[in-house]
Each structure stands twice: as C-alpha cells, then as structure tokens.
A and B are shown apart, each in its own frame.
Chain A
Amino acid sequence: MVESEVVFRVKRYRPESGGRPTFQEYTIPYRSDMVVLDGLNYIKDHVDPTLTFRWSCRMGICGSCGADVNGQPRLTCGTYIRDVHKGAVTVEPLSNFPILKDLVVDFDDFLNKLASVTPYIVRKDWGDLTKEYVQYPEDVEAYRQQSLCINCMLCYAACPVFGSSPEFVGPAASALALRYNRDTRDQGADARLARLNTKTGIWECTFVGECSVVCPKDVDPAAAIQTLKFLATMRHMRRLLMPGASSR
C-alpha cells in the first residue's frame, strides 16, 4: 500500500553533453518497506529510463549498487528509505571515483590495486592436486572476517586518504591481502607484504577509520591495515636479522 511520496535528488552526469554533474529531482510513491534501490528502480521503470546505475543481487552480496546516500557511502539495496529520509533522499555516485555516467563510476583503478595484492591463494608448488589441504575451524576463523569483503568499494568512497592520494592501495585491497596472508594454504605472504610495505601501500593510511564504519560486512579494513603495518614491520626486522626467513 502506498503511504505517501518521497523526493529523490539524484546526481546526473551525461558524458555526451560534456557538462558538470547536476542534480535531478524525482517525486515517487513511498512505502516504508522500500530500500533506496527500489526507489531508483521505480524511477528507471516508471519515470526516467535514462537514469543509469549498477545493481544485481538486491541482497547485499554482489556489492555493485553502492552509492553515496545522503552523503554517506551505502549499498542502496540494504538502505531503507525510512532510515535516511529527511526531506529528500540524495543519491550521488561513490566519492573518490571518476564518474562514467549518472551513478556509475569507473573502478578500473580499484581492480588494478586488487590484482596487485594477488587476492587468491598463491603456492610455490601445488604438489599433488588430488590431495586435500586440511584446515581446522581455527584456521578458517583467522581470516573469516576479511573474507567477507564483497568489493563494493564503499570503503574507498569513505577514505579521505584515497580521496587525496589516489595511488593509495586502499582499504579493501589491504583487507583481502591480510585475508590471504592469514590463510594456512597460502605461500604468497612475502610478496604481498613487499607490495604493501611501500609509501603507496599501508603506510599511506592515517587511521581515519571511516572505512570500517561504512563497511556493510563488518570486514574492518582499518584494523586489517594496522595489523598489516605490524606484520610488515616484523617482516622488515626479520629480514634485517634473519635474511631468508619466512614472512608469515
């Protein structure tokens, strides 16, 4: 049942026009069970089919529907309008990324950073592939929190360090690096720490902590980066005192 109406202020950018992004207002029917993505889809289906935005799963798993909602990075599928509805719902593309069109941002840079930390299990020798690589519950628990990352990039949009220094490897890539460094099956920790132990790596982080606040999966990338700083320091000291020692 339609209860009332809600005003959506959506930032529009039309690359073909070459102008600056502008806001466009839409007044749409409102129900208390609507999420912001429902509102955007209503606009797309019934009001303005030219509005462009990403979405897929509608259940906070795919990480594709992130946008700045009333100034804060959020998954639009997981944000109830009733929780952010103060006069109007303002939806903008994620901060800190170049805009391709309307709410769609270019995340090639993020994907390159992600690839730079080899976010997968690295082994020097896979050995017998029919053999099982046994992990105990406590082994899984060691990296479970970081493994929940869905690459939604909300943490990058919230990070003022990334906003001023785009070369910073950033929160999600760092958290995923820690996830694989903590995996007992992985042997790529040394190369990851070497990548992260740089000016554009973890040391760029000044511990603002907003990445952990906006993370929809409680990955806590800020804590992951601080842990990596500790591990990178230990690696450095170990290499000084015991050349050739393992990094884990």
Chain B
Amino acid sequence: MTGREYPWKRRPGWWLRNRRYLGFQLREAGGVVCALYGLVLLNMLIQLREGESAYTAFLDLLRTPPVLYLNLVLFALVVWHALTWFMLIGKAQPIQFTRQPLPWKVVFGVNVLLWLGVSGAVVYLIFGGI
C-alpha cells in the first residue's frame, strides 16, 4: 500500500446495507441467544436445588409479562437461527444421492419436517399429549 492510497474502513451499520446482511446478523444474534438461554435453564436447575420456594419464585418470575414478551422475542430469534441454518445445510455439505446434489429447498424441507417431528415428540413427552 502506498501513502497516497485511501484506506478502507468498514462503516458502522454495514449490516443494514441490505436485507441479507441483516438476516445474517439476526442469525448470529440467534446463536448468542441460544447460549444465553442455556444459562437461564442452568439457573433453573440451581433454583431447583435451592428448594421448593426458590424454584417457585423463579417460575413466577418466568411467568411475568416482561419475561414472557422477552421469551417471544428470543423464540423468534432462535426460530430464525434454525431456519436460516437449515437453508444453508445443502450448501455446507451437499447431499448427493444422484449425479447432482439435492436442491437446497429439498434439504431445507426435510430438515424442517424432522425438526417439527422431534419438537412434537418432545412436547408430547412433556405434556402427555398436545
């Protein structure tokens, strides 16, 4: 690089330049949210060990409107994270049964169906039916 060159500097807010960058940033944020929500569940276990009153107080906190709204936002981010990764799986590791790899939409659809199936099974196991 010569002294006369004008150096490149990434602009703040670059991820608002187009909707794909925004989608990527939300996908990454969804990953962070997944990790943070793991800490919430860990804390739930700690409260459970502390005794019934501590656990009940924690559950009451989770049922308050602000936490419920926050959960909705976090859930949306996690769903976005999962769906966008399902879209990329076909590219990340092309699945090839024939001469040509399967189209990404097929891989995406199969993953979503599997995801819904596993989620349904988990809900059924926890609540004993939907």
Contact = CB atoms under 8 A, between A and B. Distances in A.
A210 B21 contact: yes
Contacts of B2: 100, 106
A183 interface: no
A100 B10 contact: no
9 contacts: A99-B5, A106-B1, A160-B14, A166-B8, A209-B24, A210-B21, A223-B94, A226-B88, A226-B93
Contacts of A229: 92
Contacts of A95: 8
Interface residues of A, number: 33
B92 A226 contact: yes
Contact of B28 (A71, A166, A206, A222): A206
The listed residue with most A CB atoms (<10 A of its CB), out of B21, B88, B92, B93, is B92
Contacts of B4: 15-16, 18, 100
A208 interface: yes
Interface in A201-240: 206-210, 213, 220, 222-223, 226-227, 229-230
A220 B101 CA distance: 14
B7 interface: yes
Given A106-B5, A210-B20, A163 B10 contact: yes
A100 B6 CA distance: 7
The listed residue with most A CB atoms (<10 A of its CB), out of B6, B14, B92, B93, is B6
Contacts of B24: 160, 206, 208-210
A108 to B, nearest CB: 8
A223 B91 contact: yes
B34 to A, nearest CB: 16
A13 interface: yes
A-B pairs, top 3 by smallest CB distance, nearest first, are A15-B4, A99-B6, A226-B92
B17 interface: yes
Nearest to A21: B6
A98 B91 contact: no
Contacts of B94: 223, 227
A135 interface: no
A98 B1 contact: yes
B18 interface: yes
Interface in A128-173: 160, 163-164, 166
